[in-house]
Amino acid sequence: MEIQGSPLLAEFVLRGFEQKLSELYEDFQQGEISLGYLAEQLGISSWEAVHLLKERGLRTTNL
């Protein structure tokens, strides 16, 4: 992720994204939300969400 401006701002944005991902992933694993909803809330496609989860070694299904 590349953000123009201060490195500190970029760090805050990245931390916020990671926190949001963590919260959504927990809900996803508990079956409270779908992968599509997780992706929508992050502003990415479902395919991007699958790739993002796989990159982090996280499960892409909640079955």
User: Residues 6 or more apart from 31 whose CB is under 8 A from it?
Assistant: 62
DSSP 25-53: HHHHHTTSS-HHHHHHHHTS-HHHHHHHH
Task: Answer whether residue 4 shows pLDDT above 80.
Answer: no
Compute the distance between CA of residue 63 and CA of residue 50 in angstroms, rounded to an integer. Answer: 15
21, 15 contact by CB (below 8 A): no
Q: What are the angstrom distances between the C-alpha of 62 and each of 7, 10, 24? A: 35, 31, 12
pTM: 0.81
Q: What is the pLDDT of residues 5-60, one digit of tens each?
A: 788 888 888 899 999 999 999 999 999 999 999 999 999 999 999 999 999 999 99
